[in-house]
Amino acid sequence: MSVRKDKDWGNWKWQLQNKIRNKESLEAYIVLSNDEISAIDQADSLFELGITPYYASLMDPRNTECPIRLQAIPKLIELQTNERDQQDPLAEEKYMPVKGVTHRYPDRALWYLSHNCAVYCRFCTRKRKVSKPLGTPNRNEWDSALDYFRKTEAIREIILSGGDPLSLSEDHLEWILSELKRIPHINQIRIHSRHPVTLPMRITDTLCEIFNKYFPIYMVTHFNHPKECTTESEQAILRLVKQGAVSVMNQSVLLKGINDSPEILQNLNYKLISMGVKPYYLHQCDETFGVSHFRVPIQKGKEIYQNLRGKQSGITVPLYVADLTGGGGKVPLLPEYEVETKEFTNIYRNYKGDYYEISNGI
């Protein structure tokens, strides 16, 4: 099966206008299984199907366990809710001083600028609002958010998030960046976007020129599997780094059946570093409704992490974290390295499993 690529394939607007939203259009790319067909029929009302033709073209046409398919196409198991599953596990709506802003930590705030994404990831934490046009932030809400940032001097960083903040037009993005840059206590601007992975053509020269003007911009993108590190994505990152002077980092979610092995994560992290992207976080999957089939036991996550730290170059290793249900914030999930603390010394286990005693400095 090979799809003829439209002459506008490389245009991000074409990709969004031709977003795959039903079984019929998906079948131009892959052979759907019975499970996928029923799941698409039943899951749509809970969380929309939405896939760019670009992302669909990375799918294995026959293997239903393809890591790209698993991220974007529902399975029936997604309809099962487990006792702990929640609408808003991170209590993002609770820590909301003004509509569209979650201010949980003292020095930084998350600003949801859009409910749209190029691809709707089945494991999304914000399924409660992402993909739903209702409640999409409007211009008045942007103004109240900006007012809140202006008067809250403890805020040093604004994180543009969503949905995907790069779904906005260049004019809107530029306006937002320029307003933020004018606030004296804002030290840095960060953008969380999955577009370099799901819609790399969105990273246009014009967009990069805007980023360059508002240097420094930090971007955290979201690659989960080496298969996503395509030439298109690689070129998008190159544009961000070279033309936009953007510092690009990556957060992955640890996902069962997709990337829950040291080998896959090692490949991914090396690949990212070779593209100019610094692995930042590896997230434990949140307790959102309909994602429990993706969750990897924390014990297994720690074992995987132990296979990265020390064995792999330190710059390739992200920090494994859980975002605490209830809104407690992120905490590192670390394997036990400290074996024993004595009066004047501590004993540690290194990455090979050998023991070393060092002075504890007392």
Please tell me whether residue 108 binds ligand PLP under the rule CB under 6 A: yes
Residue 105, class by beta-carbon neighbours within 10 Å (0-12 exposed, 13-18 middle, 19+ buried)? Answer: middle
- Contact status: 89 vs ligand SF4 (CB under 6 A): no
The answer to whether residue 68 forms part of the interface with ligand SF4 (CB under 6 A) is: no
Which run of H or E residues covers position 46?
none
Binding flag, residue 348, ligand PLP (CB under 6 A) = no
Q: Which residues are within 8 A (CB) of 96 and not within 5 positions of it... i.e. 6 or more apart? A: 102, 103
Under DSSP, the state recorded for 195 is: H
Residues near 76 by beta carbon (within 8 Å), at least 6 away in sequence: 35, 38, 39, 42
- Is residue 295 annotated as part of the catalytic site, yes or no? no
The catalytic residue among 66, 117, 208, 285 is: 117
Catalytic position from the list 286, 295, 305, 320: 286
- Candidate list 39, 40, 110, 282; residue touching ligand PLP; CB under 6 A: 110
The answer to whether the beta carbons of residues 200 and 54 sit under 8 Å apart is yes
Question: How many residues of this chain interact with ligand SF4, rule: CB under 6 A?
Answer: 10
Options 51-59, 87-95, 124-132, 286-294: segment touching ligand SF4 (CB under 6 A): 124-132
Selected range binding ligand SF4 among 11-19, 156-164, 264-272, 275-283, rule: CB under 6 A: 156-164
DSSP conformation letters of 340-351? EE-SSEEEEE-T
The reply on whether position 249 binds ligand SF4 by CB under 6 A is: no
Distance CA 318, CA 315 (A): 8
If binding is defined by CB under 6 A, does position 180 make contact with ligand SF4? no
Q: Which of 89, 100, 137, 163 lies at the binding interface for ligand SF4 (CB under 6 A)?
A: 163
In the residue annotation, 60 being an active-site residue is answered as no
Distance from C-alpha of 174 to C-alpha of 170, rounded to nearest angstrom: 6
- 5 φ, ψ to 5°? -85, 130
Q: Which amino acid is at 83?
A: E
Per partner kind, with CB cut-offs from 5 to 8 A, the member of ligand SF4, ligand PLP, none near residue 110 is ligand PLP
Q: Which of residues 130-169 bind ligand PLP (CB under 6 A)?
A: 159
Given the DSSP bridges, would you call strands 108-112 and 101-105 parallel, antiparallel or unpaired?
Answer: antiparallel
Q: Which is nearer to ligand SF4, 117 or 208 (CB)?
A: 117
- Closest contact distance (angstroms) between CB of 279 and ligand PLP is 13
